[in-house]
Amino acid sequence: MEFVSPEGLRLDGRRPMEMRQIRGEIGAVAKADGSAFFEMGNTKVIAAVYGPREVENRSQQISDQALVRCEYTMANFSTGDRVRKPKGDRRSTEISLVIRQTMEACILTHLMPRSQIDIFVQVLQADGGTRSACINAATLALADAGIPMRDLVTSCSAGYLNSTPLLDLNYVEDSAGGPDVTVGILPKLDKVTLLQMDAKLPMDIFENVMQLAIEGCKAIANYIRELLLENTKQLEYRRGP
């Protein structure tokens, strides 16, 4: 199947190095300590953060740092074909784990000993790159909850189809069977915290694809930073002196 037309356009009309439209919104769930909505094209997710608060299960309490937990759920209507999946299937568990580890690495957990932070991400609509969207939403939600972090974490994916590196795969491109590289970076520290790839790819091409994904992450990081800064300014001027 042809994923890149001779004119160099993808199925949804994007250029190979073009990201889908991204949009973030802070404060999606009124009752949570922090929450955000994040959209990458047709992929839409909501993240809510509860805590830091008293650990619910005392036996899980860690004396010198915060306990970070994460749960990833997909709405029944989130995928193109409606499938009713039982909660806690393997794929969800794996993604929960990935998100938890990625976020835990950047939260300054030692500042909130003996407390618990819950991150819940809910996929409303899945169109490829849900992991990335969830991580981006979780970053926004954590920042909104006022939880101290080393750096922002942002994530983006890239693939390689028709001998062309493609940024930010959508569902059709993702399920084409080509390689899919998901990268998460700490933009300020300039480090990669998350890297996942399936399928095989020659080393030199892999480097290009990864670089492309990193560029995508950086673009998202800029967007997220602007969003947070704008939100902070708004909160400040409304509150007044």
Partner 1 sequence: MRGLQLSLNQTQKLRLQRALDQLESLSSKANSNASVAVADTIPVNYEDCVLKGHGTLELDGEVVATLCGVVERVNKLVYVRTLRARYKPETGDIIVGRVTEIAPKRWRLDINFSQDAVLMLSSMNLPDGIQRRRTAVDELNMRSIFEENDIVCAEVRGFQHDGSLHLQARSQKYGKLERGQVLTISPYLVKRRKQHLHYLEEFGVDLILGCNGFIWVGEHVEAKGTLIEDQTDKAEQLNTKSSSSTFMSLEEQERTYTSLETRQNICRIANAVRVLANLGFSVTVEVIKETVYLSSSLNLDIHEMLGSEFYVLVAEGEATRKSMFTKKKG
Partner 2 sequence: MVGLSVGEKHFIQGGIAQDLRTDGRRRLTYRPFNVETGVIPQANGSARVRLGGTDVIASVKAELGKPSPSQPDKGKVNIYVDCSPTAAPMFEGRGGEELSTELSGALQHCLLGGKSGAGAGIDLSSLVVVEGKVCWDLYIDGLVVSSDGNLLDALGAAIKAALTNTGIPKVEVAVGASGDGLPEVDISDDEYLQFDTSGVPVIVTLTKVGRHYIVDATLEEESQMSSAVSVSVSGQGRICGLIKRGGAGLDPSVILDMISVAKHVSEQLMNKLDSEISAAEACEEES
Binding site for partner 2 (CB under 8 A): 28-32, 35, 42, 44, 46-48, 50, 56, 71, 73, 75-77, 79-80, 82, 84, 87-88, 118, 120-122, 124-125, 127
Query: Minimum Å distance from CB 37 to partner 2?
Result: 10
Could you please report the per-residue DSSP string of 132-200?
Answer: HHHHHHHHHHHHHTT--BSS--EEEEEEEETTEEEES--HHHHTTSS-EEEEEEETTTTEEEEEEEES-
Neighbours of 241 (CB within 10 A): 4
Pull the structure tokens for residue 84. 């009713």
Q: Choosing among partner 2, partner 1, none, which partner's interface includes residue 104 (Cβ < 5 to 8 Å by kind)?
A: none
Q: Which residue, among 77, 194, 195, 70, has the nearest Cα to 126 in the 3D structure?
A: 77
Q: Between 149 and 172, whose beta carbon lies closer to partner 1?
A: 149
Q: Between 82 and 200, whose beta carbon lies closer to partner 2?
A: 82
**Side chain identity at residue 27, one-letter code:** G
Query: Residues in the site for partner 1, rule: CB under 8 A?
Result: 26-27, 30, 33-34, 51-54, 66, 108, 112-115, 143-152, 187-189, 225, 228-229, 231-241
Query: Minimum Å distance from CB 139 to partner 1?
Result: 8
- Cα–Cα–Cα angle for 31, 32, 37, nearest 5°? 110
> Do 3 and 10 meet the contact criterion of CB atoms below 8 Å apart?
yes
Query: Minimum Å distance from CB 235 to partner 2?
Result: 20
Q: Between 134 and 209, whose beta carbon lies closer to partner 1?
A: 134
Q: Between 14 and 201, whose beta carbon lies closer to partner 2?
A: 14
Q: Choosing among partner 2, partner 1, none, which partner's interface includes residue 110 (Cβ < 5 to 8 Å by kind)?
A: none
Query: Minimum Å distance from CB 126 to partner 1?
Result: 25
Q: Choosing among partner 1, partner 2, none, which partner's interface includes residue 240 (Cβ < 5 to 8 Å by kind)?
A: partner 1
Query: Minimum Å distance from CB 23 to partner 1?
Result: 15
Residue written as tokens 């491109």? 173
- Cα–Cα–Cα angle for 237, 120, 167, nearest 5°? 85
Q: Which residue, among 33, 10, 27, has the nearest Cα to 169 in the 3D structure?
A: 10
Phi and psi angles of residue 17, each rounded to the nearest 5 degrees, phi first: -100, 15
Query: Minimum Å distance from CB 47 to partner 2?
Result: 7
Q: Choosing among partner 2, partner 1, none, which partner's interface includes residue 177 (Cβ < 5 to 8 Å by kind)?
A: none
